[in-house]
Amino acid sequence: MPKLEGFEFWSRTLGGARHVVAPMVDQSELAWRLLSRRHGAQLCYTPMLHAQVFVRDANYRKENLYCEVCPEDRPLIVQFCANDPEVFVQAALLAQGYCDGIDLNLGCPQMIAKRGHYGAFLQDEWDLLQSMILLAHEKLSVPVTCKIRVFPEIDKTVRYAQMLEKAGCQLLTVHGRTKEQKGPLSGSASWEHIKAVRKAVAIPVFANGNIQCLRDVERCIQITGVQGVMSAEGNLHNPALFEGRSPAVWELAEEYLDIVRQHPCPLSYVRAHLFKLWHHTLQVHQLLREELAKAKTLEGVTAVSRELKLRCQEDMSRQKEGEKPAGGLPFFHWICQPYFRPGPKEGSKNGGACSKRALEEEEGNTDVLSKNKQKKQLRNPHKTFDPSLKPKYARCDQCGNPKGNRCVFNLCRGCCKKRAFKETADCPGHGLLFKTKLEKSLAWKEAQPHLQDPQQAGPGEPGGLPEVVGGALA
């Protein structure tokens, strides 16, 4: 059967999905996807997976995709970050049997993406992106899709989208923010950019950005003309967003915890989800925030969630008729509702014109260290975060990870082990002695006369065939 493309892929394979849960690192795991699907999500993406690691690490494949096969979890798109056409396609070939499409992440704006040279930091390398999409479109049995961020200029964003479509992209998700718009500098997403892209391409387009409730979904589709709308933060704070409901937080927290018991995931994922679900309540009952952070087991996390439910029910019993939610919230704190990220503080250094990390990295500027870094400095007063003082690591010739300083092949340990095994060579720098061990093994065998060829030894001699006496073995 030929591979479906464009609108045929969207309407038949993806069922004409309009309500989409975004790929979120450590947050769109199987348990959360199943919860979201129960409450109106029609299509989900996996968390972003590293193509290089996916190719070389069988455990990584098992933990992130292979062990999570679930009939309820379809349609599903697997997202990879990559910057090498061959590696991207190798990873996609290993994943295509477990999903309905492969997505290339061109939207991650975080510093880790800049250091790893992927995500939104590839958006100016059009030749590389063309080669990646072309090769994937040619080799894969499932369609390839892309998730992008916009350029400040609408016309450049349109040309970017058209280039990806021409290369073989079958569905495009457009996050209406630039790569500089993140964290406290996020601001509003530009639906004008998304609308312009939708008009300029002949493939389905999903919009991402400014989605906090079902009304936003409907308004976005009406204004931009897109086929579907993707939600990340809105979904994390209210998984029933696509149903148009705002239920009590404990209703969805309890349901999610039940799913986690059936489909386990790392406790850090569970804790992060509960922090977002209970976000507004934890502003009121702050002591329980510490308890949730300290919980070391699923039972411990569940106990804190149960206590939060009791506190909320007590708050409800004390609620006076006609009383309005505190803090300007649309609903009382025990109701699932949007979280609006605060913008940069007025009067802050540089007027908030540069990112927090840029401020942190200014020489000698310790006043704007993140809380996490301040805690580290309290534990170790001599610790510095000056990037110029950090050791510079030479890169592995094959995968780009830090190489061993004494590696004879100039590789990291993982790549060195594969090469040394293949070539039966030694690398003292990594403690790999394949050649030495083989030589010792051969020398030992030569020194053992009873291990000679059994065909050359006489009957009854060591290593020879047994003597037959009277039809029985001697």
- Give me 120's structure tokens: 């939104």
182 in helix, strand or coil?
Answer: coil
Distance between the two ends of the chain, CA-based, in angstroms? 65
**Which residue is associated with the tokens 């939207």?**
107
Q: What is the pLDDT of residue 455?
A: 52
Q: Which of 94, 69, 82, 96 is nearest to 13 (CA)?
A: 96
Dihedral over Cα of 180, 186, 187, 192: its sign = positive
Find the helix or strand (DSSP H, E) in which 208 lies: strand 205-208
417 within 8 A of 398, measured Cβ to Cβ: no
Q: What is the pLDDT of residue 444?
A: 86
Question: What is the pTM for the complete model shown?
Answer: 0.75
| Residue type for position 428 | P
207 within 8 A of 220, measured Cβ to Cβ: yes
310 within 8 A of 270, measured Cβ to Cβ: no
Active site residues per annotation: 108
Strand partners, 105: 147
280 within 8 A of 253, measured Cβ to Cβ: no
**Which residue is associated with the tokens 């969207």?**
10
Q: What is the pLDDT of residue 450?
A: 67
CA 473 to chain centre: 65
Q: How far apart are CA 225 and CA 197, in angstroms?
A: 10
- DSSP letter (8 states) at residue 244: T
Q: How far apart are CA 119 and CA 81, in angstroms?
A: 6
Q: Which of 168, 169, 219, 213 is nearest to 194 (CA)?
A: 219
Q: What is the pLDDT of residue 364?
A: 39
Strand partners, 104: 80, 146
CA dihedral of 146, 152, 158, 164, whole degrees rounded to 10: -30
**Which residue is associated with the tokens 């290593």?**
463
8 Cβ contact list (under 8 Å, min separation 6): none
Q: What is the pLDDT of residue 302?
A: 97
442 Cβ contact list (under 8 Å, min separation 6): none
Backbone angles phi, psi at 173, to 5 degrees: -105, 125
CB-based burial label for 52 (10 Å; 0-12, 13-18, 19+): buried
Q: How far apart are CA 334 and CA 160, in angstroms?
A: 43
Q: How far apart are CA 137 and CA 1, in angstroms?
A: 16
Q: What is the pLDDT of residue 345?
A: 55
Per-residue model confidence as pLDDT tens for the chain (474 residues): 689 999 999 999 999 999 999 999 999 999 999 999 999 999 999 999 999 999 999 999 999 998 767 899 999 999 999 999 999 999 999 999 999 999 999 999 999 999 999 999 999 999 999 999 999 999 999 999 999 999 999 999 999 999 999 999 999 999 999 999 988 788 899 999 999 999 999 999 999 999 999 999 999 999 999 999 999 999 999 999 999 999 999 999 999 999 999 999 999 999 999 999 999 999 999 999 999 999 999 999 999 999 999 999 999 999 888 899 988 899 999 999 988 766 555 444 444 444 444 444 443 344 457 777 777 777 777 777 776 666 667 888 888 788 888 899 989 988 999 899 989 999 999 999 999 999 988 888 888 776 555 555 555 454 454 444 444 443
Q: What is the pLDDT of residue 373?
A: 78
Q: How far apart are CA 361 and CA 363, in angstroms?
A: 6
125 within 8 A of 118, measured Cβ to Cβ: no
- Give me 81's structure tokens: 């970050």
- Give me 458's structure tokens: 């006489």
CB-based burial label for 129 (10 Å; 0-12, 13-18, 19+): buried
Find the helix or strand (DSSP H, E) in which 277 lies: helix 267-277
